């Protein structure tokens, strides 16, 4: 599977390079056409050189990001695979030596957990591919974000109750309309609330607030969880961040969730911000233009 991901990414990079070459050649041809027609090409030349350099820099950056993500994902995939393989071997030895029902039940539970981890990683990879593909994006539409947040909080209430959290949500008194890809919007809010639940010790308090301020709408997710060291704030929304620790009760994390959320937010002309202090909690805010 990892090899397939690598080959797929390599093919995408090669196709991207071919596309850039074609675009660069077109830009050069345009300059020559201007020169032939007698128009001064100096300004256009400088502008297009700058554009070409920007595209090259962006391409190199994306290639580096892809390389780091492949390395990180390979490690993420192998961890649950190795765990599943190990517990399957232990189950076989237990069956050969005589069945211990309690031990077998424990092995089954751990194998199920490993499969869940794999499923979460694959889901994140699918969403990452979706965030990188313009063709796969849904058409944005006008939506009252209060409705979206309310629906997500209702879905997440069970997970909050399971950890004895109190999940409180508040909304604007009037509709807060945004132009958004609704599945992407739901995923961003879901991920922020899920992280708050995951990284808050049992019995915590999680608040989700919708606010409308001037020309923007905010969805604010606040918790009193473990927090994030200040020196790591600049890396939170990067694909190669090192904030891949498990939740307070060993809930799995692939490390891609916040990066994907930031890409989705940008696709909706918005952005994410974070305020956090270690051992005191975090505040993640989704900012979107109000319409």
Query: Same domain, yes or no, for 150 and 264?
Result: yes
State yes or no: pLDDT of 275 exceeds 80: yes
**Per-residue pLDDT reduced to its tens digit, 33-61:** 555 555 555 666 666 666 777 766 666 65
pLDDT of residue 8: 44
State yes or no: pLDDT of 127 exceeds 90: no
Report the residue count for the chain.
Answer: 291
pLDDT of residue 67: 59
Dihedral angle over CA of 104, 110, 112, 118, nearest 10: -150
pLDDT of residue 266: 92
Query: Same domain, yes or no, for 279 and 146?
Result: yes
pLDDT of residue 117: 66
pLDDT of residue 63: 60
Query: Same domain, yes or no, for 167 and 52?
Result: no
How far apart (Å, rounded) are the C-alpha atoms in residues 20 and 25?
A: 9
Query: Same domain, yes or no, for 33 and 85?
Result: yes
**Residue in 78, 281, 268 with CA at minimum distance from that of residue 180:** 268
Query: Same domain, yes or no, for 106 and 21?
Result: yes
Strand 205-213 to strand 177-180: parallel, antiparallel, or no bridges (unpaired)? Answer: unpaired
Domain boundary among 111, 132, 153: 132
The chain-wide mean pLDDT, for the chain, equals: 77
Contact 212, 283 (CB under 8 A): no
pLDDT of residue 171: 98
State yes or no: pLDDT of 238 exceeds 90: no
State yes or no: pLDDT of 129 exceeds 60: yes
Q: Is the pTM of this model over 0.85?
A: no
How far apart (Å, rounded) are the C-alpha atoms in residues 93 and 102?
A: 14
Neighbours of 138 (CB within 10 A): 11
What would the mean pLDDT of 133-148 be, rounded to a whole number?
Answer: 77
Query: Same domain, yes or no, for 31 and 108?
Result: yes
Top-confidence range, 14-28, 118-132, 217-231, 245-259: 217-231
Query: Same domain, yes or no, for 72 and 113?
Result: yes
pLDDT of residue 66: 58
How far apart (Å, rounded) are the C-alpha atoms in residues 70 and 3?
A: 10
**Per-residue pLDDT reduced to its tens digit, 168-226:** 999 999 999 999 999 889 989 998 999 999 999 999 999 999 999 989 999 999 999 99
How far apart (Å, rounded) are the C-alpha atoms in residues 131 and 133?
A: 6
Query: Same domain, yes or no, for 16 and 109?
Result: yes
Q: Between 217 and 11, whose confidence is greater?
A: 217
Contact 94, 106 (CB under 8 A): no
Query: In this structure, what CATH number is given to the domain that contains residue 269?
Result: 3.30.565.10
Query: Same domain, yes or no, for 87 and 105?
Result: yes
How much of the chain exceeds pLDDT 90, in percent? 34
**Segments forming the whole domain that contains residue 215:** 141-289
Domain boundary among 132, 160, 185: 132
Domain boundary among 95, 114, 132: 132
How far apart (Å, rounded) are the C-alpha atoms in residues 167 and 225?
A: 13
Query: Same domain, yes or no, for 192 and 125?
Result: no
Q: How many separate domains does the chain show?
A: 2
Query: Same domain, yes or no, for 122 and 22?
Result: yes
Q: What are phi and psi of 216, to 5 degrees?
A: -140, 155
Q: Between 194 and 27, whose confidence is greater?
A: 194
pLDDT of residue 204: 97
pLDDT of residue 45: 62
Query: Same domain, yes or no, for 199 and 243?
Result: yes
């Amino acid at each position: 599977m990892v090899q397939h991901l690598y080959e797929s990414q390599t093919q995408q990079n090669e196709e991207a390079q071919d596309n850039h070459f074609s675009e660069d050649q077109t830009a050069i041809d345009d300059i020559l056409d201007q020169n032939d027609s007698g128009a001064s090409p100096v300004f256009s030349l400088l502008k297009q050189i700058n554009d070409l350099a920007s595209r090259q820099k962006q391409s190199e950056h994306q290639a580096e990001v892809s390389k780091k993500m492949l390395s990180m994902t390979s490690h993420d995939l192998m961890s649950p695979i190795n765990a599943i393989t190990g517990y399957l071997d232990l189950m076989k030895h237990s069956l050969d030596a005589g069945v211990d029902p309690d031990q077998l039940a424990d092995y089954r539970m751990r194998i199920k957990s490993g499969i869940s981890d794999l499923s979460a990683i694959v889901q994140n990879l699918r969403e990452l591919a979706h965030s990188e593909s313009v063709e796969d994006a849904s058409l944005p539409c006008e939506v009252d974000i209060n409705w979206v947040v309310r629906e997500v909080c209702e879905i997440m209430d069970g997970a909050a109750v399971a950890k004895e959290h109190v999940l409180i949500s508040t909304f604007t008194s009037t509709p807060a309309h945004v132009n958004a890809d609704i599945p992407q919007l739901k995923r961003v809010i879901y991920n922020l609330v899920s992280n708050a639940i995951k990284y808050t010790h049992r019995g915590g308090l999680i608040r989700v607030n919708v606010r409308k301020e001037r020309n923007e709408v905010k969805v604010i997710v606040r918790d009193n969880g473990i927090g994030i060291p200040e020196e790591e704030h600049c890396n939170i929304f990067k694909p190669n961040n090192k904030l891949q620790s498990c939740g307070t009760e060993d809930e799995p994390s692939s490390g891609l969730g916040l990066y994907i959320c930031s890409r989705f937010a940008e696709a909706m002309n918005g952005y994410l911000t974070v305020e956090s202090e270690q051992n005191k909690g975090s505040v993640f805010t989704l900012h979107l233009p109000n319409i």
